[in-house]
Amino acid sequence: MTFTARAVTVMLGVLAPCAVAQANSTSSDRISLTGNGSTLTGTDGGEGGSIGWLHNFNPDAILTVGAEHQRIGDAHWSFGSLTGAISSELGNGRYTFSGEVHEGSGRNGLRPLKYEIEALQVTGTYFHRLSAQLEVQRIDVDTLHGNLPKITIGYLWSQHWLTSFSRSDSAGGNLGTQLDSLRIDRYGKHVNLLLGGSYGRASLIIIDGFNFVAPGHILREGYIGASKLFARRTEINLTGDYQNLSGSKRATLTLSFMFHLGSLGAPH
């Protein structure tokens, strides 16, 4: 999993528990560094990396600016990212409105490719436990284009357990995607863990950011990860991801660091 999110793949896992926690935090700046290596059937694999700056203007507003480069087989692409989110309480719920833009280019062998993905999300968190997110992505990468709506439902069973389920269904274009995903997060005293998987029809653009095969292939995906915070200033995340897209198999290992800059507020 790369910086853009799949801040972008797993956004509810961040927004649901943090919608409450951010209300008690102070403004801060963080630097994110991510590196990953991959194997892919029929190729020599690939690697990539990203850097990002995250700034909390206040407990309810955050802005992220980043850059990323990826290579897999004989394809490579680079892009810049801009992500923002604003939260507000209304009645018994907290609502988060967020958006992201990823723009860049690269090459698929000898052929140039463009990379453009934009997304808007609305997340409602109710009674500090139940979360519902609606996301719409517009994708225009290489030869694939279209819209990808997704709905995610999450429930925080306790301070330690969060489960979420999402459904993605492409609309228009030639994405040919219909995907169900399940994720479980365990928040521990020393280490946070996550476990998840997806099944359905997908294009490589959905899981890798580019397209080499016809859309509509069967995807089976599983991933596991762990994160740990050191001295309330540096967070380390390690994630392993395995994907089987109709016999084309990819395994990715991602290591990321999040550094807090400046002074931190008092513990809470």
What CATH number has the domain bearing residue 36? 2.40.160.40
Contact present, 153 and 132 (Cβ < 8 Å): yes
Instruction: Give the per-residue pLDDT at 174.
Output: 85
Instruction: Give the per-residue pLDDT at 79.
Output: 97
* DSSP code at position 266: P
Of all helices (H) and strands (E), which one includes residue 180?
strand 178-187
The owner of tokens 């059937």 is 41
Does residue 125 form part of some domain? Answer: yes
Instruction: Give the per-residue pLDDT at 221.
Output: 95
Does residue 1 form part of some domain? Answer: no
For residue 75, list its beta bridge partners. 72, 108
Distance CA 82, CA 96 (A): 17
Distance CA 263, CA 27 (A): 10
For residue 229, list its beta bridge partners. 235
The domain containing residue 79 runs over which residues? 6-261
Instruction: Give the per-residue pLDDT at 257.
Output: 96
Instruction: Give the per-residue pLDDT at 211.
Output: 41
Instruction: Give the per-residue pLDDT at 7.
Output: 43
The pLDDT averaged over each successive group of 10 residues in the chain (268 residues) is 40 41 65 96 92 93 96 93 94 92 93 94 94 96 90 96 96 89 95 96 60 65 96 92 90 96 58
Three-point CA angle 13, 225, 65, nearest 5°: 55
**Half-sphere exposure of 126 toward its Cβ, with a 13 Å CA cutoff?**
8
Distance CA 267, CA 210 (A): 42
Does residue 56 form part of some domain? Answer: yes
Does residue 268 form part of some domain? Answer: no
Number of residues that this document lists for the chain = 268
Does residue 157 form part of some domain? Answer: yes
**Would you say the C-alpha torsion 197, 202, 206, 212 has a positive or negative sign?**
positive
Contact present, 20 and 125 (Cβ < 8 Å): yes
Instruction: Give the per-residue pLDDT at 11.
Output: 39
Three-point CA angle 224, 229, 230, nearest 5°: 135
Of all helices (H) and strands (E), which one includes residue 145?
strand 144-156
What backbone phi and psi angles, to 5 degrees, belong to 98? -140, 160
Does residue 242 form part of some domain? Answer: yes
Does residue 199 form part of some domain? Answer: yes
Does residue 150 form part of some domain? Answer: yes
Provide the number of structural domains found in the chain.
1
Instruction: Give the per-residue pLDDT at 263.
Output: 61
Residue spans of beta strands (DSSP E) within the chain: 29-40, 46-58, 61-72, 75-90, 93-108, 111-126, 130-141, 144-156, 161-169, 178-187, 192-202, 217-230, 234-245, 248-261
